[in-house]
């Protein structure tokens, strides 16, 4: 029998605060925002005279405006490129790598303008998946914050003059440093090498904001390649490998391969997560144990002792850790331990455990190149700069003034002229670029040629898909020019690849450019780490001697959307407004605190606290986070930009100065003091905005044991009472059923595969021209996302515990469950109900049902009564409260709908909705129509997989399957047949809306009693 845990969406709902109750009862925040800016009293909101005046003026204006149709021009090409046809999209393979995560992409262009990214299915690394960050990167091409010309001290300068001056300055500079984040482009490295050959004394220093120095040191200077699909037991110590750690898209796909269950495959991996903050990975774990950052070393040591043995006794004791260690040992080669710690001692032990297990999931021989930054080298360089020992420094997509813990020292050194020549190749005058003398802005990656090798043996290419928008120059070309090499980088790259590709080079090159990926390797041996590797005994003694603070510990983490806060991400409104998967907060960072601690201190959500270490401090609002380890707080890095651009500036605060440095290694945690302040600062969360009528039938889950025992029992189906007894809800209906002759579009969402990463949300936003509304409007509950991911926390206390624990104790446990709850994610979008409640209440028939099962929304017919949204049980309809494309209130956050530059990113096949109309998920009807048309043109039926909605397309774990339910051979039909009566269920089945979206019950590989740590 399925257990029925209680689900709640957030702390507000659990506590049933008056605010929450008020919001839960009303669909919309306020009434019409008339005269919102004037602050008038209620009586004066719309007086009769004003109304008459407005009406009179309105009629007159409408009459005048309609008198003359404006003359529109049609301007064809002078010389049409052969492959461009107006109205037909072209796809070009390319690569997204921002120094953080790697994605092989296909760029969709219309009339020569990139408008959307899709995952490249040819890539053996990301296999068609795409992260939210990569999805949103298309917007950064049209970012008005980019520097649009070469500059000297901020003023425009001629390119040739800059080249001349830079060459002269570099010639007598002495020591030169090229500072960059991790570079995985073999050819770019070669260019830098050539530059270093021309100017003796040049040093290339790579550093990472989310450094993996410790991991590199423990594995001989490389990051091992992981394959989570080969692991049956995964133990992660703070590694958020599904959200932010190293290569999340790649890992998510591997991870989920071994998590999907069906009749044929009734096994799944077991995943233990030990972490301080509630991460995306932690919320997907079967067993999650909160622990302090300072306990991490001891915890790993305890596992080491069980699996390998021989270490000194660990001071950390936890039953679940023992279980994890025992299971790991039993799994042997099918076990895997990973850690997100940057402490080389911890990583050395982790490597030793994996080696002892003989883990098949770890490959050090063919490593990943995705992190190469060396903390020690970077720290030494920054000290040298402060001491005036460096003659010239070149920042290549690097912004250490902002994103290095010693950034303040660097800023002071640059300001006081400790470095004679400073050059920025960054794409804008960011915190670092602004302090440099010369700026030679780099192209956007969509304007550039480049190559990448994320993993040994796996190459990929980037090709320009648009003529450079601004007077910029590719950084590699700048370096080549200064080094006196007249070849262009394109030719340079091709020459490099001649050694890689065998056979007929031109043919092989064309194929590589077309596919975007190739096999082969071009990366020379990686640069060795400055600090020597540790042995296990040294690591154990380092762990034993590490400080064990007794107070509150700060654990610094990355958010899934903003990541390291680099230029490409920080000034991107789509990412800023993407709710964090767990906290559901947008626009800025905050302090996550455990609930008990907040109750102790009498803090409420939004109270601003001051977090300080050694005189450095940040002031941020409090967010109460279930699952946050006791004695810890969490703050996300990547915020507090001041020179990112209009969107990214002044959001949150920079937490990086608060990290601990241990032997020049960055440790992303520290002991801190917290003091309350008087201030309050609301956090723009989306989580409790759209409540659902009844929790019971919304999300369903079961354990693997139950599933194996009887798959028919894992899902609970609601029955209704009829005169003939209990029956399925669709037995009694007011409405006629539809007959679908042609297509019947439907979607299946596997809750077991959904990790909640948010890639689909951005994919939908890019595809459907969804407006960004900004922080205040999110607070007002007016966000516009058509697809949201609901996150439910659940309690582990059940009525089945009555006998063991006694009724009173069990009830007490059920009342106070949020210390470490289970989490379940559920993508929620228009369910395209066959008996849609919205359709029956529209007075103007603006929302109707199509003969293919779609719930159609006709904007030009909508008069904005909002009855439909009120009547929608799923709360998926969005109302346009403003003209987001003309109202200057939204000029900053929704800039891409304002300027001619920004509008190039809009999908020309989808209307930009006007004020006063309702909108919602259309099942990507434009894609359906296109797919059907292509089939009709070829005189055949569409094949399964040709018509895919944007969300299904971008899902890295293939949790969303879209297709024609009338086609018996389609994937969706097969899933529905297979899962009927087992895991397939409809949300709120009992109200007989008969949705076309089917969810599949989540299966956890856990015993519920194990969960309470």
Partner 1 sequence: MNSIRLRPLSRLFLALFLTVATIGESLAQAVGAAPAVSKEGVAPGATAAATPATAAAPAAGGGDAAAIAAGDALFKGNCAQCHAVNEVVVGPALAGISKRRPMSWIIPWVKNSSKMVASGDEYSVKIFNQYSKQQMPSFQLSDQEITSIVAWVTSQEGKATGPNDNAAGTGIKPGEQGPAGGADTAEAGAGKYMNVLLIVLVVVLIVLVVTLVIIANIMKDVLRGRKDLDGRDREVLEQRFDFSKIYKSTAVRAIVGVVFVLAVLYESIQGAMGVGLTQGYQPTQPIAFSHKLHAGEHQINCAYCHTSVYKSRSANIPSANICMNCHSQIKTESPEIKKIYRAIERKQPIQWVRIHNLPDLAYFNHAQHTQVGGIECQTCHGPIQNMDVVYQYSPLTMGWCINCHRETPLNTKGNGYYDNLVKLHDKSNGAVPFTVSSNGGTECSKCHY
Q: Which residues bind partner 1 (CB under 8 A)?
A: 66, 69, 71-80, 85-88, 741-742, 848, 850-852, 854, 856-861, 909-912, 922, 925-926, 929, 932-933, 935-937, 939-942
Query: Which CB atom, from 871 or from 911, has the smaller least distance to partner 1?
Result: 911
Helices (H), 422-502: 475-482, 489-498
Query: Which CB atom, from 838 or from 854, has the smaller least distance to partner 1?
Result: 854
Query: Which CB atom, from 25 or from 67, has the smaller least distance to partner 1?
Result: 67
Query: Which CB atom, from 344 or from 931, has the smaller least distance to partner 1?
Result: 931
State the minimum distance, in angstroms, from the CB of residue 67 to partner 1: 8
Whether the CB-CB separation of 288 and 793 falls below 8 Å is answered with no
Nearest one of 273, 266, 209 to 236, comparing CA atoms? 273
Query: Which CB atom, from 856 or from 892, has the smaller least distance to partner 1?
Result: 856
Query: Which CB atom, from 194 or from 967, has the smaller least distance to partner 1?
Result: 967
How many other CB atoms are found less than 10 A from the CB of residue 829?
25
State the minimum distance, in angstroms, from the CB of residue 245 to partner 1: 39
Query: Which CB atom, from 699 or from 857, has the smaller least distance to partner 1?
Result: 857
State the minimum distance, in angstroms, from the CB of residue 767 to partner 1: 11
State the minimum distance, in angstroms, from the CB of residue 999 to partner 1: 24
State the minimum distance, in angstroms, from the CB of residue 746 to partner 1: 16
Q: Rounded to whole angstroms, how far apart are CA atoms 987 and 875?
A: 12
Q: Rounded to whole angstroms, how far apart are CA atoms 90 and 107?
A: 8
Query: Which CB atom, from 73 or from 602, has the smaller least distance to partner 1?
Result: 73
State the minimum distance, in angstroms, from the CB of residue 119 to partner 1: 24
Q: Which helix (H) or strand (E) holds 137?
A: helix 132-141
Query: Which CB atom, from 536 or from 857, has the smaller least distance to partner 1?
Result: 857
Q: Rounded to whole angstroms, how far apart are CA atoms 162 and 665?
A: 37
**Which letter, b or e, does each residue of 621-636 get, where b requires 16 or more Cβ atoms within 10 Å of its Cβ?**
bbbbbbbbbebbbbbb
Sign of CA dihedral 415, 419, 421, 425: negative
What residues contact 807, with CB distance under 8 A and at least 6 apart?
Answer: none
How many other CB atoms are found less than 10 A from the CB of residue 203?
16
State the minimum distance, in angstroms, from the CB of residue 83 to partner 1: 12
Query: Which CB atom, from 220 or from 916, has the smaller least distance to partner 1?
Result: 916
Q: Quote the radius of gyration of the chain (alpha carbons, Å).
A: 29
Query: Which CB atom, from 380 or from 915, has the smaller least distance to partner 1?
Result: 915
Whether the CB-CB separation of 240 and 340 falls below 8 Å is answered with yes
State the minimum distance, in angstroms, from the CB of residue 493 to partner 1: 28
State the minimum distance, in angstroms, from the CB of residue 858 to partner 1: 4
State the minimum distance, in angstroms, from the CB of residue 911 to partner 1: 5
**Which letter, b or e, does each residue of 552-588 get, where b requires 16 or more Cβ atoms within 10 Å of its Cβ?**
bbbbbbbbbbbbbbbbbbbbbbbbbbbbbbbbbbbbb
Whether the CB-CB separation of 591 and 606 falls below 8 Å is answered with no
How many other CB atoms are found less than 10 A from the CB of residue 858?
14
φ, ψ for residue 617, nearest 5 deg: -150, 160
| Helical packing angle, 296-307 and 536-545, nearest 10° | 140
Query: Which CB atom, from 74 or from 804, has the smaller least distance to partner 1?
Result: 74
What residues contact 617, with CB distance under 8 A and at least 6 apart?
Answer: 610, 611, 658
Half-sphere exposure of 964 (CA within 13 A, CB side): 23
Whether the CB-CB separation of 445 and 462 falls below 8 Å is answered with yes
Whether the CB-CB separation of 843 and 868 falls below 8 Å is answered with no
Q: Rounded to whole angstroms, how far apart are CA atoms 905 and 907?
A: 6
State the minimum distance, in angstroms, from the CB of residue 467 to partner 1: 14
Whether the CB-CB separation of 96 and 103 falls below 8 Å is answered with yes
Nearest one of 515, 500, 506 to 92, comparing CA atoms? 515
Structure tokens at 576: 């800023």
What residues contact 74, with CB distance under 8 A and at least 6 apart?
Answer: none
Q: Rounded to whole angstroms, how far apart are CA atoms 977 and 204?
A: 58
The SS3 assignment for 379 reads helix
Q: Rounded to whole angstroms, how far apart are CA atoms 896 and 908?
A: 14
Whether the CB-CB separation of 590 and 603 falls below 8 Å is answered with no
State the minimum distance, in angstroms, from the CB of residue 884 to partner 1: 15
State the minimum distance, in angstroms, from the CB of residue 737 to partner 1: 16
Query: Which CB atom, from 18 or from 76, has the smaller least distance to partner 1?
Result: 76
State the minimum distance, in angstroms, from the CB of residue 861 to partner 1: 7
Structure tokens at 402: 């902002």
Query: Which CB atom, from 80 or from 153, has the smaller least distance to partner 1?
Result: 80
Query: Which CB atom, from 690 or from 927, has the smaller least distance to partner 1?
Result: 927
Query: Which CB atom, from 751 or from 766, has the smaller least distance to partner 1?
Result: 766
Structure tokens at 153: 């001290």
Sign of CA dihedral 954, 955, 960, 964: positive
Query: Which CB atom, from 456 or from 878, has the smaller least distance to partner 1?
Result: 878
Structure tokens at 669: 């945690």
State the minimum distance, in angstroms, from the CB of residue 657 to partner 1: 49
Residue with tokens 């397939």: 984
How many other CB atoms are found less than 10 A from the CB of residue 122?
17
Whether the CB-CB separation of 399 and 432 falls below 8 Å is answered with yes
């Amino acid at each position: 029998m399925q257990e029925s845990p209680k689900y709640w969406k957030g702390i507000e709902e659990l506590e049933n605060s008056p605010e929450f109750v008020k919001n839960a009862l009303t669909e919309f925040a306020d009434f019409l925002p008339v005269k919102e800016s004037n602050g008038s009293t209620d009586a004066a909101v719309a007086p009769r005279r004003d109304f008459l005046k407005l009406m009179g003026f309105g009629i007159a204006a409408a009459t005048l405006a309609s008198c003359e149709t404006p003359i529109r021009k049609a301007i064809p090409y002078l010389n049409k490129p052969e492959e461009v046809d107006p109205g037909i999209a072209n796809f070009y393979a390319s690569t997204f790598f921002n120094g953080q995560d790697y994605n092989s992409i296909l760029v969709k262009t219309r009339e020569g303008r990139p408008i959307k990214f899709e995952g490249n299915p040819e890539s053996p690394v990301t296999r068609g998946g795409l992260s939210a960050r990569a999805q949103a990167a298309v917007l950064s091409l049209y970012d008005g914050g980019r520097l649009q010309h070469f500059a000297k001290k901020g003023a425009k300068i001629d390119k040739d003059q800059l080249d001349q001056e830079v060459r002269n300055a570099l010639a007598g500079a002495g020591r030169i440093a090229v500072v960059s984040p991790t570079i995985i482009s073999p050819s770019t490295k070669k260019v830098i090498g050539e530059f270093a050959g021309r100017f003796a004394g040049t040093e290339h220093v790579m550093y990472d904001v989310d450094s993996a120095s410790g991991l590199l040191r423990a594995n001989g200077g490389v990051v091992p390649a992981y394959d989570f699909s080969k692991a049956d037991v995964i133990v992660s110590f703070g590694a958020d490998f599904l959200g932010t750690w190293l290569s999340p898209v790649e890992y998510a796909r591997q991870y989920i391969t071994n998590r999907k269950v069906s009749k044929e495959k009734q096994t799944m991996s077991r995943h233990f997560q030990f972490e301080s903050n509630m991460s995306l990975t932690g919320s997907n774990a079967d067993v999650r144990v909160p622990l302090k950052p300072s306990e991490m070393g001891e915890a790993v040591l305890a596992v080491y002792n069980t699996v390998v043995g021989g270490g000194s006794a660990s001071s950390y004791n936890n039953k679940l850790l023992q279980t994890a260690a025992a299971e790991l040992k039993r799994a042997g080669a099918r076990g895997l331990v990973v850690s997100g710690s940057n402490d080389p001692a911890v990583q050395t032990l982790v490597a030793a455990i994996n080696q002892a297990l003989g883990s098949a999931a770890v490959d050090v021989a063919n490593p990943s190149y995705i992190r190469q930054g060396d903390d020690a080298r970077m720290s030494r360089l920054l000290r040298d700069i402060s001491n005036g020992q460096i003659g010239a420094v070149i920042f290549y997509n690097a912004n250490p003034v902002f994103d290095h813990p010693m950034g303040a020292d660097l800023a002071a050194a640059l300001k006081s002229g400790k470095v004679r020549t400073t050059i920025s190749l960054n794409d804008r005058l960011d915190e670092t670029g602004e302090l440099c003398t010369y700026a030679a802005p780099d192209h956007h990656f969509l304007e550039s040629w480049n190559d990448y090798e994320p993993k040994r043996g796996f190459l990929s290419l980037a090709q320009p898909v648009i003529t450079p928008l601004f007077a910029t120059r590719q950084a590699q070309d700048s370096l080549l020019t200064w080094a006196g090499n007249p070849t262009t980088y394109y030719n340079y790259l091709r020459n490099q690849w001649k050694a890689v590709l065998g056979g007929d080079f031109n043919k092989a090159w064309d194929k590589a450019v077309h596919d975007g990926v190739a096999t082969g390797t071009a990366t020379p041996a990686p640069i060795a780490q400055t600090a020597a590797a540790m042995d296990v005994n040294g690591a154990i003694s380092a762990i034993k001697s590490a400080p064990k603070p007794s107070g509150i510990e700060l654990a610094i983490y990355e958010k899934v959307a903003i990541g390291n806060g680099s230029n490409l991400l920080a000034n991107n409104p789509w990412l800023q407004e993407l709710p964090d998967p767990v906290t559901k907060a947008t626009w800025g960072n905050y302090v996550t605190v455990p609930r008990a601690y907040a109750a102790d201190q009498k803090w409420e959500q939004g109270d601003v606290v001051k977090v300080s270490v050694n005189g450095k401090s940040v002031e941020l609002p409090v967010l109460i986070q279930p699952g946050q380890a006791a004695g810890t707080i969490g703050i996300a890095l990547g915020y507090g930009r001041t020179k990112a651009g209009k969107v990214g500036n002044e959001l949150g605060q920079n937490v990086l100065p608060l990290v601990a440095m241990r032997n020049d290694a960055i440790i992303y945690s520290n002991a801190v003091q917290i003091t309350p302040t008087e201030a309050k600062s609301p956090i723009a969360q989306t989580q409790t905005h759209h409540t659902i009528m009844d929790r019971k039938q919304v999300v369903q889950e079961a354990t693997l044991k139950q599933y194996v025992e009887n798959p028919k029992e894992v899902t609970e189906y609601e029955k209704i009472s009829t005169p003939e007894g209990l029956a399925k809800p669709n037995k009694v209906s007011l409405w006629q059923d539809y007959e679908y002759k042609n297509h019947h579009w439907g979607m299946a969402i596997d809750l077991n595969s959904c990790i909640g990463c948010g890639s689909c949300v951005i994919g939908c936003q890019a595809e459907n021209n969804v407006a960004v509304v900004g922080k205040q409007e999110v607070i007002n509950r007016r966000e516009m996302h058509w697809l949201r991911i609901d996150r439910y926390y659940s309690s582990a206390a059940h009525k089945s515990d009555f006998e063991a624990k006694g009724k009173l104790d069990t009830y007490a446990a059920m009342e106070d469950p949020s210390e470490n709850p289970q989490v379940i994610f559920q993508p929620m979008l228009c369910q395209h109900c066959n008996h849609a409640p919205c359709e029956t209440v529209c007075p103007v028939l603006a929302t109707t049902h199509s003969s293919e099962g779609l719930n159609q929304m006709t904007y030009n017919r909508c008069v904005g009564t909002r009855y439909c949204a009120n009547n929608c049980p799923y709360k998926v309809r969005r109302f346009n409260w403003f003209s987001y494309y003309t109202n200057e209130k939204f000029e900053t956050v929704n800039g891409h709908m304002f300027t001619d530059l920004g509008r190039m990113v809009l999908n020309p096949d989808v209307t930009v909705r006007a004020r006063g109309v309702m909108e919602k998920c259309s099942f990507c009807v434009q894609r359906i129509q296109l797919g059907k048309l292509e089939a009709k043109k070829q005189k055949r039926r569409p094949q399964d997989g040709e018509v895919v909605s944007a969300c299904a397309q971008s899902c890295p774990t293939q949790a969303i399957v879209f297709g024609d339910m009338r086609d018996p051979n389609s994937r969706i039909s097969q899933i529905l047949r297979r899962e009927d009566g087992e895991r397939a269920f409809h949300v709120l089945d009992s109200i007989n809306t008969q949705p076309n979206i089917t969810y599949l019950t989540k299966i956890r590989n856990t015993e519920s009693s194990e969960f309470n740590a």
